[in-house]
Amino acid sequence: MGQFSLFDTEEFVQDEVFLFFDTETNGLPYNYDAPVSEVENWPRMIQLAWIQHDAEAKELSRGDFLICPDHFYIHESIHGITHDQALRDGLPVKSVLERFAEVLKTTTVLVAHNISFDEKIIGAEFLRAGMSNPLYQLNQICTMKSSVDFCAIKSGNRFKFPKLEELHHKLFNEGFSGAHNAMNDVEALTRCFWGLKERNLVSLY
């Protein structure tokens, strides 16, 4: 898919419905380049959150769900979600995926920070649940890739991919609380996206 400015024409953006989403996972993949079909490579999703906006930044829907662990154990070191908490408050992963799939039906553009990671996490869960994966049918925006030059954080001879917290600080001169909670990250993501949009820095990937 080619790269171009999403906001070249008002006619284009007026029809878009954006879905901002984030996952929390039970670890990291063994190989980041592995295809989503290698489900054993991809960690389990333990939280999924999203916010849906129209082209004028009006919120249309939101969801925030813990996943009840099924034959896996949750380690809380990164995200602070305990195994007992997920057992108590979580929903079956298929139930969460069904709700997410319904929202995708009214979405035209997916937005995430490091979208290639999150789409594979969710894609692997769709495969495990025996469900079709609708993510690849939609246009995508990665705020991480779109903001490399804007954040201009040196790493050797090049600029590195900015963390969401780094992008948020660059845009608004402040951080945000509750990082590594999926909904807190999604709320920060929406602010960052519209901040990038105001500067005409968002590209469709």
Q: 87-126 pLDDT, tens per residue?
A: 999 999 999 999 999 999 999 999 999 999 999 999 999 9
pLDDT at position 62: 97
39-48 per-residue burial string, b: 16 or more CB within 10 A, e: under 16 = bebbbbbbbb
DSSP string, 88-124: HH-B-HHHHHHHHHHHHTT-SEEEETTHHHHHHHHHH
- Report whether pLDDT(204) > 70: no
pLDDT band at 1 (very low <50, low <70, confident <90, very high): very low
DSSP string, 134-188: -GGGSEEEEHHHHTHHHH--EETTEEPPPPHHHHHHHHHSS--SSTTSHHHHHHH
Q: Are 82 and 74 in contact (CB under 8 A)?
A: yes
- How far is residue 120's CA from residue 115's CA, in Å, rounded to a whole number? 8
Rounded (5°) CA angle 79-122-104: 115
pLDDT at position 9: 39
Domain ranges of the chain: 18-204
Structure tokens at 3: 């790269």
Tens of pLDDT along 6-46?
Answer: 444 344 466 899 999 999 999 999 999 999 999 999 999 99
C-alpha 22, offset from chain centre = 3
Q: What is the mean pLDDT of the chain?
A: 91
Of the options 2.40.50.140, 3.40.50.2300, 3.30.420.10, 3.30.450.20, the CATH number for the domain spanning 18-204: 3.30.420.10
- How far is residue 204's CA from residue 201's CA, in Å, rounded to a whole number? 10
Task: Specify the residue for token string 């070249």.
Answer: 8
pTM: 0.91
pLDDT at position 113: 98
